[in-house]
Amino acid sequence: MKIGFFSLLNAVVLMMFATGACSQSCSKSDTPGGVSPDSTSVLHVNLKTDKVCFSPGEEVSFTADELPDSAYVRYYHLGKVLDEKRLSVKTWSWAPPSSDYQGYLAVVLDKNNGRDDILGSIAVDVSSTWNRFPRYGFLAAFGDMDESEIESNVSMISRCHLNGVQFQDWHWKHQRPLAGTPENPYDHWTDIAKRSTSKATVEGYISCLHGIGSKAMFYDLCFGALNDAADDGVKEEWYLFNDRNHSSKNVLTLPSPMFKSDIYIVDPSLEAWQTYFGNRVDDVYSVFDFDGYQIDQLGSRGTVYDYDGSAADLPSGYASFIRAMKSKRPGKHLVMNSVSRFGDKEIAETGDVDFLYNEVWSEDADFSSLKDIIDRNDSFGDGSLKTVFAAYMDYDKADGTGYFNTPGVLLTDAVMFALGGSHLELGDHMLCKEYFPNTNLSMDAILQSSIIRYYDFMTAYENLLRDGVTFGSAELSCLNGKMTVAAWPPSSGKVCLISTEKGSDTEVLHLINLAGANSMSWRDLDGTMPEPSFISEPSFKFKTTRQVKAVWMASPDSYLCTPRPVEFTQSASCITFSIPSLKYWDMIVIEY
């Protein structure tokens, strides 16, 4: 039975209250001016916006599932209140400032009895393009669906503000993604795994995503051909081979009979292949209103040879292929996967991809590797090309069935987001394997609720997380023994400090609670990362000789992401201050 997203989320929240799962982040003492959501005295208000991002000058429409008579809405930009008004209806509009590329937080409050009780919150992104702050998701099943099922499957994409979605394994054949012809496309076809795919469902998803302001990107390899490719015009001379005598094609072997063919590898640098496949891409665009092409590869293939016996340079071939696709359709968006960093420099330096997409594996299993990748990507485009990680959580656990391990997911997202990256993980389910249709693991109620707050946080505070910030070298120490703080990279038994600088007047301190972590790997392969201990009222010394104007903090784990001021005392060499708590991730902002 399908149920509405609001109904599902409300059930999640009620279950969390009943089990006490929210006791640390939703307690009465944990909200400025009063209480946060409380099952006995305060409603929990579920909010949604009509789009995942908004153009400058465009109004935002909000909807609440319920409101008390004394409800207000307050709008924040970072730590500053922009506006506040009384709410008398469950649907209302707001006109954000006209500045481009800005994140905001709307907070619904109950002002009953003179207190500001936080009932709900939701982020807003005002951006004219998606590449400045990419939040990428996916869809992976396209069987017959009606409109309500499509909308239900897109509900998490919408609520988490995902401004781009790749359609994974939607196509008919790798060398011929459109089933049928532009003049007579098929209504149904089977994908590589023999799953039924519906033209109406693909169209319905595209329309639904466009309705909420999200990009729809079709997925395919840059060099894949099935065993019937000759029938579709693919020439023997286009393939890559394991030997100089072109007797053994390079191939990705897939298990039979689950998959209808192995995938044979074509040379992506060949002009003849680029022309052929560019025409097949045109076929796709003539039938489906996709916004662009999510290009895939397979990482290093070792030494492979073209038909004439010369060793192939795949990274250069990727760059050539990207340029050919952009030349063919300049108005369409392109993103290309860099598997284990293979070809990353060549992909980035084309200047034709919207952002950098890194599929990370065992070579980059540590938390520290995530920053290494972001630093490397920043060097390619002077920080203009943002990083999205395709990173599969609980990979070994997903050989069976069950739930994702919430602590592992949240700690990984906290690190990625604090570093300025994003995580491809959400869509019509959460990812656990590189085969996107795999649904062996699911989110439990706590993770489903928490992940929404993490995406609200990444979106609302995008200007401090991903907008022209540089990594710093701040010195922070705990004064009351509640934790040991250690600067990046993460180390066992310690809370990790990631410090960044925004312009000349703002420093940001990210505290990631890895003190109880059983590993410094983000992968959490077996789903055994323990839940961090709740740290109450830690106090700190922050070294600075500059005059501090204000200190404030925000967290996805408490106050429903709402910013709140932090009192501090300044001396000639430092400031001292305390914060209410640390669970997974706190962000402390120092303004000069």
pLDDT tens by residue, 505-533: 999 999 999 999 999 999 999 999 999 99
The percentage of residues in the chain with a pLDDT greater than 90, rounded to a whole number, is 91
What's the rounded Cα separation, in Å, for the pair 290 and 151?
A: 18
Could you tell me the residue range of the domain that residue 207 belongs to? 136-222+272-302+312-465
- 397 and 280 part of one domain: yes
pLDDT attached to residue 383: 87
Residue type, 507: E
Q: Which pTM was predicted?
A: 0.93
The percentage of residues in the chain with a pLDDT greater than 70, rounded to a whole number, is 93
Q: Is residue 248 part of a domain?
A: no
Q: Which of the residue ranges 10-24, 318-332, 556-570 would you say has the lowest mean pLDDT?
A: 10-24
From 425, 445, 465, the end of a domain falls on 465
For residue 16, is pLDDT > 90?
A: no
Give the domain CATH number at 489: 2.60.40.1180
Residue type, 133: F
For residue 35, is pLDDT > 70?
A: no
pLDDT attached to residue 506: 98
What's the rounded Cα separation, in Å, for the pair 394 and 522?
A: 9
Count of domains observed in the chain:
3
What's the rounded Cα separation, in Å, for the pair 58 and 270?
A: 45
Q: Is residue 371 part of a domain?
A: yes
Q: Is residue 246 part of a domain?
A: no
Q: Is residue 450 part of a domain?
A: yes
Q: Is residue 251 part of a domain?
A: no
- 172 and 75 part of one domain: no
| Residues whose CB falls within 8 Å of the CB of residue 99, separated by 6 or more in sequence, listed in order | 56, 126
- 484 and 445 part of one domain: no
From 465, 491, 512, the end of a domain falls on 465
pLDDT band at 18 (very low <50, low <70, confident <90, very high): very low
- 412 and 532 part of one domain: no
For residue 27, is pLDDT > 50?
A: no
Q: Which of the residue ranges 28-32, 264-268, 376-380, 563-567 would you say has the lowest mean pLDDT?
A: 28-32
Q: Is residue 382 part of a domain?
A: yes
| pLDDT tens per residue across span 284-324 | 999 999 999 999 999 999 999 999 999 999 999 999 999 99
Q: Which of the residue ranges 38-52, 96-110, 324-338, 457-471 would you say has the lowest mean pLDDT?
A: 38-52
For residue 395, is pLDDT > 60?
A: yes
pLDDT attached to residue 17: 33
- 281 and 354 part of one domain: yes
Is the CB of residue 124 less than 8 Å from the CB of residue 459?
yes
pLDDT band at 42 (very low <50, low <70, confident <90, very high): low
What's the rounded Cα separation, in Å, for the pair 104 and 95?
A: 12
Query: Buried (b) or exposed (e) across 375-411, using 16+ Cβ within 10 A?
Result: ebbbebeebebbbbbbbbbbbebbeeeebbbbbbbbb
For residue 550, is pLDDT > 90?
A: yes
- 408 and 539 part of one domain: no
Q: Is residue 261 part of a domain?
A: no
| pLDDT tens per residue across span 150-208 | 999 999 999 999 999 999 999 999 999 999 999 999 999 999 999 999 999 999 999 99
From 76, 103, 126, the end of a domain falls on 126
- 460 and 477 part of one domain: no
pLDDT attached to residue 353: 98
- 497 and 410 part of one domain: no
- 552 and 430 part of one domain: no
pLDDT attached to residue 444: 98
- 460 and 476 part of one domain: no
- 474 and 575 part of one domain: yes
